[in-house]
Amino acid sequence: MPSKRRYVSPLREQAAARTRALILGQATELFAEHGYGRVTVADIASAAGVASKTVFASVGSKSDILNRIVDQGVIASGYEQAMEDLLALRTPESVLKALAHGTRMGNEGQFAVHEAIRKALPVHENGEALWERATAAYRDALRATAQHLHHLTPPPSHSVKETADLLWYWFGPTGWRTLVVENGWSWERAEEVLYRTSVATLR
């Protein structure tokens, strides 16, 4: 006799997904504002309007929550489509302009996620591995951009590796944070200056 399949209510699944998204959203904001080490599961539960046991059942421990935030941040950045568009461009200036705008939009849109991760690094048990996982796709995209630039005319005056390093220096999350957060620049002004700097340096 065949075993009965467990019925899963679509409405219940949708409600669970909404609860999970709410918890992750509130956790991201709390981690970004106060720092991972200072936020408790109880704080997250209170901000989300649920019980602590709901947080554990829906997402897991505080470390699990941060892992989910990292994974969702990578997916939400939309870097794959942006890179597809960028690699179709045929002049160094247009590539760098697209890179400046794309990384600006990604960093601006994912600012809370980046801050949550950055503030967790000193206290997280696997901080270095967490940062590498959070930025691996970002670095790969900039390496691919550097290689693409070297197939265009004129190619950069630096090696492919140095070009990738410079792109990370300008357009990586730390570069954007230095100008916007630490020095009070607007995102628009930072985008313009980083673009012009990259064009002038890579000639």
Higher local confidence (pLDDT), 3 or 151: 151
Q: How many Å apart are CA 199 and CA 203, to the nearest integer?
A: 6
Which DSSP helix (H) or strand (E) runs through 190?
Answer: helix 187-202
Higher local confidence (pLDDT), 13 or 31: 31
**Contact present, 120 and 127 (Cβ < 8 Å):** yes
Per-residue pLDDT band for 16 (boundaries 50, 70, 90) equals confident
Burial letters for 16-38: b for 16+ Cβ neighbours within 10 Å, e otherwise? eeebbeebbebbbbbbbeebbee
pLDDT of residue 140: 96
Q: Please report, for the chain, the start and end positions of each structural domain, with discontinuous segments joined by +.
A: 10-72, 77-202
Per-residue pLDDT band for 76 (boundaries 50, 70, 90) equals confident
| Over residues 28-43, mean pLDDT | 96
Q: What DSSP character marks residue 150? A: T
Higher local confidence (pLDDT), 11 or 44: 44
Question: Over the chain, what is the mean pLDDT?
Answer: 92
Domain 77-202 has CATH 1.10.357: yes
pLDDT of residue 192: 98
pLDDT of residue 6: 66
**Contact present, 79 and 141 (Cβ < 8 Å):** yes
pLDDT of residue 57: 95
pLDDT of residue 5: 64
Q: How many Å apart are CA 170 and CA 100, to the nearest integer?
A: 9
Q: Which one, of 25, 23, 5, lies nearest residue 76 by Cα?
A: 25
Q: What is the greatest pairwise CA distance in the chain? A: 74
| Over residues 136-152, mean pLDDT | 96
pTM comes to 0.86
pLDDT of residue 3: 57
Domain 10-72 has CATH 1.10.10.60: yes
